[in-house]
Amino acid sequence: MSHYRQIELELDHRFDPFSRRHFLNGFQSVLHCHHYSTLYTQLAIDAQETDLLREVAEDAFVDMLSAYFEDYDITETEERIQIAEQYFAAVGLGKMEVVYLGDDSGKVVLHRAHVDEGWIKKWGKFDRPVNYIAAGYVAAMFAAVNEKAPRSYKVTEVESLVMGAPKSVFNVVQK
């Protein structure tokens, strides 16, 4: 039987006084609101570029998570998942729970979600899933935890808070 330590995300926030830029654990970050994130999402839907939105999210987050695992020497799967769940919350994307993660498949639940709740706040419920940013994050998390390249996993949102479900559910399958 394996025993894992409860691990806590460490955040090093710096504001460069010259460039006036924010850095979170060495990665430049910026504050934006749900109007901006949901309008980006709406644009992706209208332009039929939801895959692009998911991919840029995956690219951005896989670097961030992989660097953290390396910098803090996080090697155990369960500890990596704990960090990824905490990171998701720390940047304001919501409350994530990894139900299971394997090399080939997985399932992730969002109990709360910035994009869905922002969308409902702005426009009300919607008839299809909209959280491509979280889908990209989940793909990045699976790639980073399993040390695979980006685009290794297909992530599909099968239940959605924005549609009125009690939680959002993402199925993950290795391509």
Partner 1 sequence: MAIDRKKIIDDWSKIQVLGDENGLIESAGVLINQLPVPFWNGFAERLTSKVTPDLLESVEYLLINAAHECGYNTGYGIITSPEWDAIVKPMLEKLPEDILYGAFAVLTAWGWAKAEIVELDPGKRMVVRGYDYYEADVVRYGKSTKHSAYMLTGICAAFMDLAYGGPYDPTGKTGIKTFKCEQVKGIENGDDYGEFIVTRA
58 versus 79: smaller Cβ distance to partner 1: 58
**How many angstroms separate the CA atoms of 89 and 86, rounded?**
5
Integer angstrom CA distances of residue 54 from 2, 25, 148, 166: 34, 23, 17, 23
Give CA–CA dist 12/150, Å, rounded. Answer: 25
Q: How far is the CB of 40 from partner 1 (least distance, A)?
A: 6
Among 131, 138, 137, smallest CA distance to 171 is for 138
Using CB under 8 A, list all residues that contact partner 1: 11, 13, 15, 17, 19-22, 24, 27-37, 39-40, 43-44, 46-47, 49, 52-53, 56-57, 59-61, 63-64, 88-96, 111-112, 114, 117-118, 121, 133
The smaller minimum CB distance to partner 1, of residues 133 and 145, is found at 133
Closest contact distance (angstroms) between CB of 172 and partner 1 is 19
| Residue closer to partner 1 (CB basis): 105 or 109 | 109
DSSP 134: H
